[in-house]
Amino acid sequence: MTGVGEFELIEQLFANLAGPGGFSLKDDAAILSPTPGHDLVLTKDAIAEGRHYLTSDPPGDVARKLIRVNLSDLAAKGARPRAYLLSCAWGRGIDYVWIEAFCAGLKADQELYGIELLGGDTIRVEGPSVLSLTAIGDVSEGQMVRRSGAKIGDDVYVTGGIGEAALGLRVATGKLSLPQSDADALLQRYRVPVPPVSFGRALSSFANASIDISDGLLADLGHLCEASGVGVEIRRESVPVSQAVASALQHDDTLWTLVLTGGDDYQILFTADAERARDIEAAALRTATQVTRIGRIVPTGISVLDADGQPMSFAAKGFQHF
């Protein structure tokens, strides 16, 4: 970072990430107000080198992961993403070229999701990088979808496929060998999640309860059920998996545990009344989102039934980033 200080970096790289509202990159703070008739929805998640991403991951992918793990929270709450603030604590080995590529990744996702950088700060640390982002969206007044609204008898759905990132991390760390094209697909999904942002905006019109799947499907089922005071029963064979995950499971059936508890999916888990099935299908079609019914809400307990309809047992219910 020889000769380039914080202010110059902000000027050179971050200034062109600020949208029309982003004067704050040259001020102490930013202004934001909700669209009339809307509430602002705020979320804040950090990712750390060596824990949520690997030192060798491409910097543009790290930037996009940072944005997307936060947009995943907004999507699960039914919110439209609008803007973000960023704190970068750059660790050892991060040079100007790295930060430049990181900013290019931010820029690409800003354009993809229609969001702008409002402000933040950059510091140096003698250790792993820690990157923290606050994402802000809006949702029609009083319509944020909470974890706590699930009712007995609700259908339980997930978006996308489950387990790709968890297997991708195994591939990245050399703990799982797969055919190259499968390995590449899973690794890429670990590096850059694809939260269902467009589908999320429709969520408040049919979902009773919702959570983003980050700790693992089983752990997040547990969080949703705990908040709602209910239980859940899912069928393992209904859990949607990509072709690469299916193929890995075919070779090694014990990977199911990792798929169901591995985390980093950044998909939406939600519940809805049975009679909303057609609306959900329509929203899925309209936003080109895979949506799968995996079970239903029951009075108590969290059960996964295997192919024979027998309850499975799990040692650990989720991956904790801690």
Instruction: Return residues touching a copy of itself (CB under 8 A).
Output: 1, 5-7, 23-24, 26-34, 39-46, 48, 50-52, 73-74, 76-77, 79, 85-87, 89, 91, 118-128, 130, 132, 134, 136-137, 139, 141, 144, 146-148, 211-212, 223, 227, 320-322
Question: Which amino acid is it at 46?
Answer: A
Q: How far is the CB of 286 from a copy of itself (least distance, A)?
A: 23
Q: How far is the CB of 56 from a copy of itself (least distance, A)?
A: 16
The residue among 163 and 195 lying less far from a copy of itself, judged by its C-beta, is 195
User: How close are the terminal C-alpha atoms of the chain, in Å?
Assistant: 30
The residue among 1 and 312 lying less far from a copy of itself, judged by its C-beta, is 1
Residues comprising the chain, all counted: 322
Q: What three-state secondary structure class fits 13? A: helix
Q: How far is the CB of 26 from a copy of itself (least distance, A)?
A: 6
Q: How far is the CB of 305 from a copy of itself (least distance, A)?
A: 26
The residue among 175 and 321 lying less far from a copy of itself, judged by its C-beta, is 321
Q: How far is the CB of 73 from a copy of itself (least distance, A)?
A: 4
Q: How far is the CB of 215 from a copy of itself (least distance, A)?
A: 8
Q: How far is the CB of 49 from a copy of itself (least distance, A)?
A: 8
The residue among 158 and 248 lying less far from a copy of itself, judged by its C-beta, is 158
- CA distance linking residue 88 with residue 99, whole number of Å: 10
Tokens of 43: 């979320």
Neighbour order of strands in the sheet with 209-213: 209-213, 267-272, 155-159, 291-298, 231-235, 302-305
The residue among 46 and 312 lying less far from a copy of itself, judged by its C-beta, is 46
- CA distance linking residue 199 with residue 266, whole number of Å: 13
- CA distance linking residue 132 with residue 85, whole number of Å: 8
Q: How far is the CB of 269 from a copy of itself (least distance, A)?
A: 11
**Are the CB atoms for 315 and 261 separated by under 8 Å?**
no
Computed from CA positions of residues 8, 70, 89, 49, in that sequence, does the dihedral angle turn out positive or negative?
Answer: negative
The residue among 206 and 270 lying less far from a copy of itself, judged by its C-beta, is 270
- Nearest alpha carbon to residue 200 among 111, 292, 81: 81
Q: Is beta strand 80-90 parallel, antiparallel or unpaired with respect to 116-124?
A: parallel
The residue among 5 and 179 lying less far from a copy of itself, judged by its C-beta, is 5
The residue among 86 and 178 lying less far from a copy of itself, judged by its C-beta, is 86
The residue among 55 and 300 lying less far from a copy of itself, judged by its C-beta, is 55
**Are the CB atoms for 134 and 196 separated by under 8 Å?**
no
Residues 6 or more apart whose CB falls under 8 angstroms from that of 119 comprise 22, 24, 25, 27, 29, 30, 85, 86
Q: How far is the CB of 255 from a copy of itself (least distance, A)?
A: 24
**Are the CB atoms for 76 and 268 separated by under 8 Å?**
yes
Residues 6 or more apart whose CB falls under 8 angstroms from that of 219 comprise 261, 263, 317, 318, 319
